[in-house]
DNA sequence: CGACCGATCGTCT
DNA sequence: GACGATCGGTCGA
């Protein structure tokens, strides 16, 4: 298992990177607890021309400032006042590309994830959906701006690459109000994974 | 199983 | 002062 280098994130085609993130492993190490999960669903947000992006039209505020940081930075923000949503920033500094991680298949530390989620029984909802996976992985607003080369939060590969036909593509979820961008096929997921959120 | 709805608060207008 | 890149519970079929 090998941490993805900055060069993985530092590329121009955010759709390509999003697709390549499927099958990679998100890892956190917090207070001695290791939790990890394989990425099975993500969405690309393609910079200032993307009507569904927080950076649409070059918008730049305290909240989304981290989107303008260099490749391989964590962008975490609060959604609906309740949920932390975890994104990875791609492309060069000042170019606000990002990928929202929407679902994982748990690997290590399942008991710890269940504890964080307040679950007694293991089921697919453990790491299904961006808000849920943040809780399971212990990701919070404190991780906003954190480098993904950190020891406590990173994404790694173990050589597994999903076959092309395992990958589904669809419009993004929850962006109905984004006009033209609402129908862009920027969501990527593993077709047969029960941990994928939304419709297949 | 699908549709609906309330929770909850930081962010931007 | 309105509005979310959501979740989980409830209700009805």
Q: Give pLDDT, residue A177.
A: 85
Q: Where are the beta strands (DSSP E) in A47-118?
A: 73-79, 83-90, 97-106
Cα(A186)–Cα(A51) distance, integer angstroms: 12
pLDDT digits (tens, 9 = 90+) for A78-97: 999 999 999 999 999 999 99
A159 touches strand B (CB under 7 A): no
pLDDT digits (tens, 9 = 90+) for A54-72: 999 999 999 999 999 999 9
Cα(A147)–Cα(A105) distance, integer angstroms: 23
Q: Would you say residue A200 has pLDDT above 60?
A: no
pLDDT digits (tens, 9 = 90+) for A96-113: 999 999 999 999 999 999
Nucleotides of B under 7 A from a protein CB: 7-13
Q: Give pLDDT, residue A184.
A: 94
Mention every residue, 6+ apart, whose C-beta is less than 8 A from residue A167: A19, A22, A188, A189, A190, A191
Say whether A74 sits in a helix, a strand or coil: strand
Cα(A94)–Cα(A78) distance, integer angstroms: 22
- Region A35-51 average pLDDT: 96
Q: Would you say residue A77 has pLDDT above 80?
A: yes
pTM for the model stands at 0.95
A118 touches strand C (CB under 7 A): no
Structure tokens, A124: 């697919």
Q: Give pLDDT, residue A72.
A: 97
**For the segment 77-116 of chain A, residues whose CB is within 7 A of strand B:** 77-78, 80-82
């Amino acid at each position: 298992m090998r941490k993805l280098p900055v060069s993985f994130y530092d590329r121009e085609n955010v759709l390509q990177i999003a697709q390549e993130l499927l099958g990679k492993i998100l890892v956190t190490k917090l207070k001695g607890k290791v939790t990890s999960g394989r990425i099975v669903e993500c969405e690309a947000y393609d910079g200032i021309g993307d009507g569904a992006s927080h950076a649409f039209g070059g918008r730049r505020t305290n909240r989304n400032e981290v989107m303008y940081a260099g490749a391989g930075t964590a962008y975490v923000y609060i959604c609906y006042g309740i949920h932390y949503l975890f994104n990875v920033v791609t492309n060069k500094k000042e170019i606000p590309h990002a990928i929202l991680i929407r679902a994982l298949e748990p690997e290590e530390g399942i008991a710890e994830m269940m504890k964080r989620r307040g679950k007694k029984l293991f089921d697919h909802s453990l790491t299904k959906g961006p808000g849920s996976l943040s809780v399971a992985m212990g990701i919070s607003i404190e991780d906003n701006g954190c480098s993904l080369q950190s020891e406590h939060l990173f994404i790694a590969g173990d050589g597994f690459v999903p076959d092309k036909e395992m990958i589904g593509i669809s419009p993004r979820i929850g962006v109905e109000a984004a006009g033209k961008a609402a129908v862009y096929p920027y969501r990527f997921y593993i077709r047969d994974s029960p941990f994928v959120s939304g419709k297949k």
